[in-house]
Every structure is written in C-alpha cells, then in structure tokens.
Structure 1
Amino acid sequence: MPRTARPRCRAALAALSSCVVLGCGTGATPQGDQPAPPSSAPTGAEYGVVTWASSADRIGEAVDGRGYRLLVHTSVGGSGLRVRLSNAFGDQPVTFGNVHVGLRRDGAALVPGSNRRLTFGGARTVTVPAGGIVYSDPLPGHVPAASTLAVSLYVARAGGSLTGHWMAMQTSYTTEGDHTAEESAANWKQRTGSWFYLDAVTVRPREGTGAVAALGDSITDGWQSTTDRNRRWPDYLARRLARSATGTVEGVANEGIAGNRVLTDVPGQSALNRLSRDVLSLPGVRTVFLFQGVNDIKAEPGATADELIAGYRTLIDRAHAAGKCVVGATIAPYKGWQEWDPAGEAVRRKVNAFVRYSGAFDAVTDFDRVLRSPYDPERILPAFDGGDHLHPNDKGMQAMADAVDLRSLDCRNALSSTREIL
C-alpha cells in the first residue's frame, strides 16, 4: 500500500468504528425470546474461517446469574462474525440469556456504538446441552484483522462443571447480573485471567483464505509472555501472516493448554483426545501445527521416544484423513527445569531426530535449533529464557514465530518446504 494511502485508511477505519462488527443500516435482527436449539457443527463454507480460538477444558464450577466480558484478539479479518460457545465439559445444560460483541476501547469499556446483540437461530437466548457446542448466527458488518473484541455473555442458568480456558494471558472481566448490552465499564469491575464458555470466533474473509491451528502446551498457550500484549508465538505468527504479500493462510487458532500432553489426559484431555474438537472441527483450518511432547517426556514416569513417536504418527494420520497438512516442530531444550534429567534429554533428542528426518510431517519447524544455546544445546538461550529454563520470553516467542516458513502452512507448498529442510 502506498504510504500516502495509510492515513486515509486509518481515518476511514476510525469513522466506521461504530459499524465494525455489526454493519450500519443492515436492518433489524430477529429478537425471539425463547431459547433456540444448538446449532449444528460447521459443515460448509458458510461458517467461514477461524480468526481466534482457545482450547476448552474443565476449569471449575458453573454459576447462575453471572456475566463475562471476554477480550479476544482476531487474526484474519472478515464479515459475518460468529462465536462458538462450548459446554464440552459441562455435566448440566447451560442457558445463555444474552450475548453481545463489540470492539474494546480500553479495559472493559467498548468503542461507543460497536456493541451488538448476537442471536442463535434468531433467538436472544440459547441452551447448550452437556457436552455440546453452539454457533451464533452471522453478524452483518466487517471485523478488522488484529482487533480486540469484547464478547459479553450472560449465563442465566448453569450448574455442575464449567467449560473454559484457564490460562488466557489476557485480562477479561466478570459481573453479577446481565450487563452485556452496556458499553461502559462501570459494572464490569471484577477481573479474571481466564476465558469462559467461548472457544472460537469465525469470520468470512476473502475467498480462498485458510487458517492454521497450533496444537500445543503452555509454551503455545503463552506462559512467560507478557500478559495483555498478545506476545504468544502464535500471535507473532499471525502478525507475520498479515504482513505477508503471498500465501492464503491468515487465520491463527491457538490451541495450547498448559501442562498438556500428547498421550495422557493430565492435565486436560490429551492432544490425541482433543484433536477433533479443538482443531479439526474449526472452520477453515488448513494446517495443524504440532508442537508438543515435553510434558510427556518430563512426566513421572516419562514417555519413551517410541511411545511419543507413535502418538505423533496417529495425530498425523488423523489430520491427513481430515484433509489437513501437518507441520511438526522439534521439542525445545529445557535443562535447568526441575524435571530435566539425562534420560529425558535422550528421549527428546530421539524424538527430534524423528521430526527432522522421518518425512512423516508435511513440513518441519526446528524450534530446538532456534531456541537452544550454542554453548549448551541442552539449555534454552539465556536471551530467550523466560526465567524458568523451559518457557521462552517475548523475544523467544518472536524468534519461534520468525522461524516458521510461511509457505509450509499451505498444503500446496508444504512438501517442497520439507524437502528444503531435509
């Protein structure tokens, strides 16, 4: 874009801020008062492409009469915004009395005029059964890339287990009662570092656009990156994709869970058991980026290399059967972490050799090579160390994202990228 055009674009965006997300002059939205049945899972292009996502887990007990204002950051822009609400880990139905979405201005306050009601089958309320998910109806208007949305939920009735994402690395807000329609922050005083019920946002970008889903653990989840600054490595990757002049993958879904393992369900469901829900079910996902294994290795007892490799092969086969590419990442060094030992290091090296040289993946990103110290390759480089010798800091997160060959995220280019690495 010419330099002289940028100020005009920014001015136009500011002028249209009240139309973003909802579209000006689009007519009335159905306002039914009875709960709508849950929407079916996405099966077609009408569900667009995922622009934000987080992995669902069981994170506590559900509460009636509570409101949640959840702040999330988009990757790809587009029209027809939908949100996906999850009761995947609930053992009782949950009824959402009102759901709104707007643009965040600062804190819990929204850009004036941007907050709009979402409907579900034309109704204001929706009940999601235990284990279920629901998509909202599409919202007219355009959602910009790299914007912070505030999705406000009012839980009218709930009980039992609560579904959400514990470690958001993002401040959101809660309240008592239904204040979802309010753009002011006056009634949104309670802060939280988790997301509740919301596990995906989708938009309709330009034709041919796809997304990548990062399946990972606490490093992908962003631990040791700066809270509220979107400095997880998938965030840096989304910014690279937005700047790229080539390629059609622009959406990024962060499907990391702190402590997660490939093989066993502690904590949360294993990568093997959550692949379908957290990754393959997301609209527009073209590529699975697999970066997991360190928690399996340092567990007691730890996984063997052969066990972890077998888990990788199963994930690859299932993703390929669903028509997805799979990019594999080597496991980063972690010497200095309390659970490191020479036996685990030997497993890490053997698994990394499989990732690099087996040809099982469509492409490879070598995070081990990027993050390790040249003076002790079993340790993370001090400049990238978040302080615990396992999790990278902001600089390390950016270095990881910078190491990804953007061509590898598109199935049409992945095989040639693999050949170059090998």
Structure 2
Amino acid sequence: MTGRLARAGRAAVVLLLASACQSASTPAKVFDVPAGTVTWAASADRFGEAAADRGYRLVVHTSVGGRDPRIRLSNAFGDRPVTFGSVYAGLQKEGAELVRGSNRRLTFGRARSVTVPAGETVLSDPLPGRLPAESNLVVSIHTSDAAGPATGHWMAMQTSYATRGDHTVEESAANWTQTSGSWFYLDAVSVRAGAGTGAVVALGDSVTDGWQSTRDRNRRWPDHLARRLQRADTSVKGVANEGIAGNKVLADGAGHSALNRLDRDVLSQPGLRTVFLFEGVNDIKAHTGVTADDLIEGYREIVDRVHAAGKCVAAATVGPFKGWSEWDPDAEAVRRDVNDFIRTSGEFDTVTDFDRILRSPSDPERIHSAFDGGDHLHPNDKGMQAMADAVDLRSLDCADPLP
C-alpha cells in the first residue's frame, strides 16, 4: 500500500488508537469548530504573570474580509479563571487611535462580560457589520482580576497598546500610552465570508512568526501569501499564522510542540482547508539527538491527523542555516535527509521548496545574502516575499486529501 492509500490506512490507525486511548483515560479535548473563515490568528503560549486591572488594545491585520466578525479569547495556559469585563473592537486610525464610530462592544452569549475557565477558550457573539480584508482590526480588552500565568503571543512583530483601568470604550489614544510588542489573550478572529471560502493555516516557527521582517508592516511570509490570495482566482482567502519563535515539531519548549498544539491552534480554526507545515529547523539545530527518521515520523503523524480531519497538508522544505551558531555538518546532514523526504516521499498533498528559493547558488548550505535577515537563518523582507511568491496558490485550494 503506497501513496494516498497508505496515508488513508495510517489515518484510520490514528483514529482507532485515539479511540482506544480515550476509552481508557480522560477523553481528548474536542473543539466545536464554528461556521465562518479565520481571518487572523496567533498561537497561544504561557506568557509571564498576569496583572489585574489592565487594559490591552491589540492591533491585528486581517486577511479575508467578511461580515459579522467574531473573536476568540484564550486562557489556555492559565491556572485559574480570568474575567474580561469589557471587550470592544474597532478599526485603527493611527497608533492607539481608532476610526471614529468604529469601536463597538463585543458580547459573549449576549453578556457584556465573560469568564474564561483555566485551559479554555471562548468565542464572542458575531458583531454585526462588515470587516474589510487587509485591515487593521483593534480589539480592546480589560480584565480586573487577572492573576497567575497569562496566555498570549510574545513575538507579535506588531505594536499594540496597554493601560491601567478600563478605557476600552474610548476611541482616543489619550489613555493608551504604553506600548507592547505582544498580543494578550486574543488568539483568533473569524468572519462570515462568501459561501465556500476557505483558509490556510501556517504551522511553523520563528520564520513563520516573522522574525527579521519589518515590524508593523505585515511582511511575514504568510502576510505576503494572504495578499496574493486576496487577488487570486481561488476560494482559499483566509490565512492564519500559527508560528511560534523557537517552536519544534517534536518537543515542547517555546510553546507546545507542533504535535501537541495541532488541534488547538490549527484544526480548531473555522474554514480550514489546508495546513501549511513549515517547521523542523529547531529540532535539527538543537542537537538533542533528533534524527531525520524521528522528524519524518513527526511529519507523518501531523499528516495523518490532518487528513483524518478531512483537510490537506502542504509542506515546505527546511531552509539553509549555515553561519548560525548551532549549524554543523551533522545538523546539515539531517536537514538534507529531511528535505529529500519532503520533496520525494509523496506524503504531502503539495510541496513548496523553500530551501531551493532561499539558498545561495554558490553555497547551498547557506541562505542567499540578498535574503539573509542578518543571522544566517531568518529571511529579511525580500526573502519573506520570495517564499510567499513560490507557493502555488491553486495547490492550497484542496477539497479532498484522500481518495
């Protein structure tokens, strides 16, 4: 049994094993995926100690436009409930200032406040009206009782704002004088887009998270991909960036591993059509004894679980990083073997060769100088654009990954 039939068989085994495990222990968490299409997302992680009576004005950039936006608040890493007394959403004018008349209260089960239990997420009610594509949405939240571990996304590559007290209703920037490079508690935004509109979720590490791209300019490679999709003849329009700096496929550390966060960060997103898997360099360069076979088995598990959910998997080869402090010939050998598997195995529904796009023609183990963000691993804006341009957009519009 080979190719898609082999993957179908493995997917069935994954489901059987999951069923057996659930019957003998605590059931796995199941997400009730809502209708709509994700237009923005960021992976949740444990993020320091929460502070009471704080307001956060969080700036996020949409991909697909649509009606009746909803936000998702996460307390995934909290050890106690957190109550959000007021939550508003509007459009950014400049800095922390909002477009006049755009700031409106969000409700949760028609209530003006919501308490999110430890380890849980909550989805807002739809906010009537249209949210434009490629716009800066500003979500303002206030919590009076937050304590213990906070949940958020550390490396936003986007300036947001903070304050003391509840100033969520205000469209003025007067009381939002503190700045932050992180997102707190907010981990997804979705809209009701046109019928059949789908989304791609990028599952990755710091390259996907956007490190070395220009802050506040939305120049991460998934941002460039989103702009291409908005103008393309395809039903896939939404893009969710689920990159975490330092993240690994196999081991927890900088966030839960890709394997451990796949359900929460990826498969729970509304409108998901295709998972774009671009991760592995941190497993390789960490020198923890991870082999190519180990990483390949991790990829296979992700493929099986995504296919079992009826979605497609796009994969990208691991980029060059010679010159980075953790590079050595042994790590390079693992990267080469992993990339051979990605290119030739037929395990994925589609493959984009980021390694070929990024590498230097004179030294293929090294990132091209024109694309190097300065540390020999992370691409600059030009490299991010080249990556997004290399993706075959038609391949993301995948209806059925299995025969």
- How far residue 44 of structure 1 moved from its aligned partner, in angstroms, is 4.3
Residue 22 of structure 1 is matched in structure 2 by none
Q: State the match for 2:120 in structure 1.
A: 132
Q: CA RMSD in A?
A: 1.3
Q: SS of the counterpart of 2:128? A: strand
Distance in 2, matches of 1:65 and 1:263, equals: 37
Determine whether 1:329 maps to 2:316.
yes
Question: In the alignment, which residue of structure 2 is the partner of 1:35?
Answer: none
2:262 paired with 1:275: yes
Q: Rate the CA distance shift 1:65–1:44 in 2: closer, same or farther, 3 A.
A: closer
1:207 alignment partner, one of 177, 190, 195: 195
Moved over 3 A (4+): 40-44, 412-415
Residue 82 of structure 1 corresponds to: 70
Q: Is 1:385 aligned with 2:372? A: yes
User: What does residue 9 of structure 2 align with?
Assistant: none
State whether structure 2 residue 303 is matched by structure 1 residue 293: no
Letter paired with 2:219: R
Shift of 1:52: 0.1
Contact 1:41 1:134 in 2 (8 A): no
1:228 is matched with which residue?
216
Cα deviations by residue, 1:9-55 (Å, 9 ceiling, x for unpaired) = xxxxxxxxxxxxxxxxxxxxxxxxxxxxxxx954442xx11000000
Q: 1:143 and 2:147 equivalent?
A: no
SS at match of 1:80: strand
- What is aligned with 1:259? 246
Q: Which runs of 5+ in 2 are unaligned?
A: 1-29
In the alignment, which of 351, 374, 394 is matched to residue 364 of structure 1?
351
- Where does residue 6 of structure 2 map in the other structure? none
Kindly provide the amino acid, as one letter, of the partner of residue 150 in structure 1.
V
Within the alignment, does 1:192 sit opposite 2:192 as a pair?
Answer: no
The question of whether the paired residues in 2 share the 8 Å contact of 1:302 and 1:344 is answered with no
> How far off its partner does 1:156 sit?
1.9
Equivalent position SS for 2:155: coil
Q: Secondary structure at the match of 2:263?
A: helix
Query: SS of 1:240's equivalent?
Result: helix
SS in 2 for 1:140: coil
Secondary structure at the aligned position of 2:253 is classed as: coil
- CA–CA distance in structure 1, aligned partners of residues 254 and 399 of structure 2: 35
CA distance in 2, matches of 1:226, 1:89: 29
Instruction: Measure, in 2, the Cα distance between the counterparts of 1:405 and 1:413.
Output: 17
Partner amino acid for 1:71? V
Change in 2 beyond 3 A, CA 1:179/1:282: same
Q: What is the identity, as a one-letter code, of the residue corresponding to 2:136?
A: T
Task: Kindly indicate whether residue 292 of structure 2 is the aligned counterpart of residue 305 of structure 1.
Answer: yes
1:53 to 3, 25, 41: 41
Could you report, residue by residue, the CA deviation over 1:177-226 in whole angstroms, capped at 9, with x for unpaired residues? 00000000000000000000000000000001000000000000000000
Counterpart contact for 2:310–2:401, Cα < 8 Å: no
Distance 2:197 2:288 in 1: 43
Contact preservation (8 Å) 2:311, 2:399: no
Give runs of aligned pairs for residues 17-56 of structure 1, distance below 5 A: 41-45=31-35, 48-56=36-44
Match of residue 161 from structure 1? 149
Separation (CA, whole Å) in 2 of partners of 1:169 and 1:55:
13
1:147 deviates by 0.3
Give the C-alpha shift of residue 266 in structure 1.
1.3
Structure of higher RCO (CA pairs closer than 8 Å, 6+ residues apart)? 2
Cα offsets for 1:49-108 (capped at 9, x unmatched) = 100000000010111100000000000000010000000000010000000000000000
Deviation track 1:330-382 (CA, whole Å, cap 9, x = no partner) reads 00000000000000000000000000000000000000000000000000000
Deviations 1:214-240 (A, max 9, x none): 000000000000000000000000000
- TM-score by length of structure 2 reads 0.91
Rounded Cα–Cα distance in structure 2 between residues aligned with 1:44 and 1:227: 31
Q: TM-score, normalised by structure 1?
A: 0.87
Q: Shift in Å at residue 301 of structure 1?
A: 1.7
Deviation at 1:408, TM superposition (A): 1.1
Aligned residue-pair number: 374
Please give the per-residue CA displacement for 1:152-198, whole angstroms capped at 9, x wherever unaligned. Answer: 00012111100000000000000000000000000000000000000
- The answer to whether the Cα contact below 8 Å between 1:73 and 1:147 also exists between their aligned partners in 2 is yes
| SS of residue matched to 1:241 | helix
Distance across 1 between alignment mates of 2:159 and 2:290: 35
Deviation of the 1:268 alpha carbon: 1.2
Q: Which runs of 5+ in 1 are unaligned?
A: 1-39, 416-422
Report if the CA contact (8 A) 2:87-2:139 is conserved.
yes
Does structure 2 conserve the Cα–Cα contact (< 8 Å) formed by 1:408 and 1:414?
no
Asked whether 1:344 is paired with 2:331, we answer: yes
1:173 aligns with 2:161: yes
